């Protein structure tokens, strides 16, 4: 491949940890996007068939690079490591439980590589098979497509790309199916609240009893009432309650560290 061709390809960044089920079903779209010619995977020592499932995605036009590296509760550092292993400048990053929608795939396939912008897209969440149209997690916007030379990842949990390029928002969707069941949802809330509490503690942020009492209640009211989560029926109520639980756990864990 000559240098000119390298300039017209995209690298996909992927972090994994026991994602065999998602790898099996969420990556058929790659066949429709030939200008993605490599996937750089950083795996946190999966114990299932994640690695073997990833290797099945490789073909003569798509190379899979897999690196094993401990997460150490810092998703940004894991992404930064992945970036260092990419050969292309243009980067798309997704999680294993996300898939680009048809219009986003079309955009990537016909992308004009002379563009100097980073691009943000909407993320459409699903819970228990239901599309969440309201609440905190419905239709969030994230920068997911960028030139790796002009920015950096920040935040150990819920990492974000901070771009030094102009940012263009496109109303194209990434579909997100994050929770197989309530049990895995609770496990993630417990895990992410650990990391968030440690992040706040390292920033010397203090917590008090009133914050522990009122913040979760305010979060519940915002998501279920102000952000119309009640219109999503039972899934909307469960999501609002669980996001409130996350708020409660972050603050109680931070209090425990003080």
Q: Are residues 103 and 172 in the same domain?
A: yes
The confidence score (pLDDT) of residue 191 equals: 95
Instruction: Give the number of residues written for the chain.
Output: 258
Q: Residues 156, 78: contact at Cβ < 8 Å? A: no
Cα 82 → chain centroid: 14
Q: How confident is the model at residue 1 (pLDDT cuts 50, 70, 90)?
A: very low
pLDDT, one tens digit per residue, over 91-121 is 999 999 999 999 999 999 999 999 999 999 9
The confidence score (pLDDT) of residue 3 equals: 39
Query: Is 16 or 137 the better-scoring residue by pLDDT?
Result: 16
Q: Are residues 39 and 76 in the same domain?
A: yes
100, with CB counted inside 10 A (0-12, 13-18, 19+), is buried
Does residue 44 surpass a pLDDT of 90? yes
All residues at 6 or more sequence positions from 184 whose CB lies less than 8 Å from its CB, including other chains = none
The confidence score (pLDDT) of residue 180 equals: 82
- Residue 105 sits in which domain range? 3-176
Q: Are residues 96 and 172 in the same domain?
A: yes
Q: Are residues 50 and 120 in the same domain?
A: yes
Question: For residue 236, which of 249, 227, 245 has the smallest C-alpha distance?
Answer: 227
Q: Are residues 59 and 95 in the same domain?
A: yes
Q: Are residues 29 and 44 in the same domain?
A: yes
Does residue 4 surpass a pLDDT of 80? no
Map 65-101 to HEC letters: EEEECCCCCCHHHHHHHHHHCCCCCEEEECCCCEEEC
Taking residues 62-80, what's their average pLDDT? 97
Residue 111's alpha-carbon distances to 79, 119, 147, 254, in angstroms, are 23, 11, 13, 44
Cα 49 → chain centroid: 21
% of the chain beyond a pLDDT of 70: 98
pLDDT, one tens digit per residue, over 218-246 is 999 999 999 999 999 999 999 999 999 99
Q: How confident is the model at residue 128 (pLDDT cuts 50, 70, 90)?
A: confident
- CATH code of 20's domain: 3.90.550.10
Number of domains in the chain: 2
**Any idea which residue has 């990537």 for tokens?**
108
Taking residues 1-30, what's their average pLDDT? 85
Does residue 2 surpass a pLDDT of 80? no
Other beta carbons within 10 Å of 149:
11
Q: Are residues 80 and 108 in the same domain?
A: yes
The confidence score (pLDDT) of residue 182 equals: 92
Q: Are residues 141 and 23 in the same domain?
A: yes
The confidence score (pLDDT) of residue 6 equals: 55
């Amino acid at each position: 491949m000559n240098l000119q061709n390298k300039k017209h390809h995209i690298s996909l960044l992927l972090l994994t940890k026991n994602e065999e089920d998602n790898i099996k079903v969420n990556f058929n779209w790659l066949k429709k996007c030939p200008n993605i010619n490599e996937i750089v995977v950083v795996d946190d020592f999966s114990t299932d068939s994640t690695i073997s499932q990833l290797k099945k995605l490789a073909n003569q036009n798509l190379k899979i690079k897999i690196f094993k590296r401990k997460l150490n509760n810092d998703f940004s550092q894991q992404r930064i490591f992945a970036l260092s292993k990419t050969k292309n400048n243009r980067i798309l990053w997704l999680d294993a439980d996300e898939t680009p929608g048809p219009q986003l795939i079309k955009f990537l396939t016909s992308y004009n590589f002379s563009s100097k912008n980073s691009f943000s897209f909407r993320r459409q969440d699903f819970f228990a098979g239901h599309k969440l149209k309201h609440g905190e997690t419905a239709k969030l916007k994230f920068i997911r497509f960028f030139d790796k030379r002009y920015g950096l990842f920040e935040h150990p949990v819920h990492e974000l790309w901070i771009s030094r390029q102009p940012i263009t928002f496109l109303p194209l969707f990434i579909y997100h199916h994050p929770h197989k069941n309530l049990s895995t949802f609770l496990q993630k809330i417990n895990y992410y609240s650990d990391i968030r509490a440690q992040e706040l503690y390292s920033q010397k942020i203090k917590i008090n009893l009133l914050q522990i009492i009122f913040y979760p209640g305010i979060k519940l009211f915002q998501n279920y009432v102000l952000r119309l989560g009640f219109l999503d029926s039972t899934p909307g109520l469960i999501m609002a309650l669980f996001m409130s639980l996350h708020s409660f756990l972050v603050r109680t864990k931070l209090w425990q560290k003080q």
